[in-house]
Amino acid sequence: MTKIFHRLAALGLAGLLALGTAGARAEGQIRIADQFGIVYLLLDVAKDQKLIEKHGKAQGLDITVSQVTLSGGPAMNDALLSGSLDVAAAGVGPLLTLWDRTLGKQNVRGVASLGNFPYYLVSTNPAVKTIADFGDKDRIALPAVGVSVQSRILQMAAARTWGDAQFAKLDRISVALPHPEATAALIKGGTEITAHFGNPPFQEQTLAANPAARVVLKSYDVLGGPASATVLYTTEKFRSENPRTYRAFTAALAEAAQWIAANPEAAADLFLRVNKSKVDRQLVLGIVKSPEVQFKLAPQNTFALAEFMHRVGAIKNKPASARDYFFDDPHNAGAN
């Protein structure tokens, strides 16, 4: 299965490289990479309804939009730093890693949240009731070991269970696997994968399809409430050199969020169609309508993860607040 992950990442990166590398570019181009799941629905809507192009035209600008799908924060971050990508969509963990790494250089910061979504750690091992029950034979699938937001949240939980010195205790039994592959492994069984720290709709799909599956950990419990686990981020250079394109992009996201809130049924159908997904429609609709899910741009409850990552040495620079690693845009004014 790890071969499948590497093949997907390679294909995605190849697609990005085909779009062109870094250099002086006129306004009117934006290259975006997303990942798997309903958490990227704002981007799905913007793409399907050509909202970025719409808001560009309102400013007298024709915008060419390119969008590919990658898996995992490392692939996103490598593509962004190589100049083959303008905007990355990944977890808060990868954003903080790149913010810390580029501070005073490329100055990567968050553009916006993609919304609040609960992420579940699901296991099919009947002996596992809490993370303390995982053994050497268990394997926890997540997008990227030690980097993805799922991995960082698991590290936070481990630190609370065994102390900060052992925050990475479960990294040794974690494996990198795209959400679709991890979900298939848990539903089918018979593989080394006994748990998956996923996102909607994959976690719900597993729980519905496999009676042995149970929730071991919820991200909201670790983070202290609803949180924006997945975000969009870019370099200071792209934002400053492409102000109209950047404004069109954020305006498109805002319109997409409003449309989803007003049209949950149509939004569920759009997700299934755009992603060519065979997930049960009622399951998808239940997620879109869930009171625990909010599609919005304002980042919420991200700072606890930032504080943790600095405390255990995962990032060297200590942010004073979430506004340090999000751009100073109106929708980020209340970032926390």
* Digit-coded pLDDT (tens) for 275-300: 999 999 999 999 999 999 999 999 99
Q: 22-56: string of b/e by CB count within 10 Å (b at 16+)?
A: eeebebbbbbbbbbbbbbbbbbbbbbeeebbbebb
CB distance 312 to 171 below 8 Å? no
Q: Among residues 298, 297, 295, which one has the least CA distance to residue 335?
A: 298
Q: What is the pLDDT of residue 310?
A: 98
Q: What is the pLDDT of residue 75?
A: 83
Whether 9 has a pLDDT exceeding 70, the answer reads no
Task: Give the residue ranges of DSSP H helices in the chain.
Answer: 2-18, 41-48, 51-57, 73-82, 92-102, 149-162, 179-188, 202-209, 219-223, 236-241, 243-262, 264-274, 281-289, 303-311
The full set of domains in the chain, from first to last, is 2-115+227-332 (3.40.190.10), 120-223 (3.40.190.10)
As a dihedral over the C-alpha atoms of residue 15, residue 17, residue 18, residue 19, rounded to 10 degrees, the angle is 100
Encoded tokens for 118: 């609960």
The pTM of this model reads: 0.89
- The CA angle 26-47-35, to the nearest 5 degrees, is 100
pLDDT at 4: 34
199-213 pLDDT, tens per residue?
A: 999 999 999 999 999
Residue for token digits 């719409």?
Answer: 54
Average pLDDT, stretch 165-186? Answer: 96
Half-sphere exposure of 305 (CA within 13 A, CB side): 34
CA distance 95 to 267: 27
Per-residue pLDDT reduced to its tens digit, 227-249 = 998 999 999 999 999 999 999 99
Here the tokens at position 61 are 């600008």
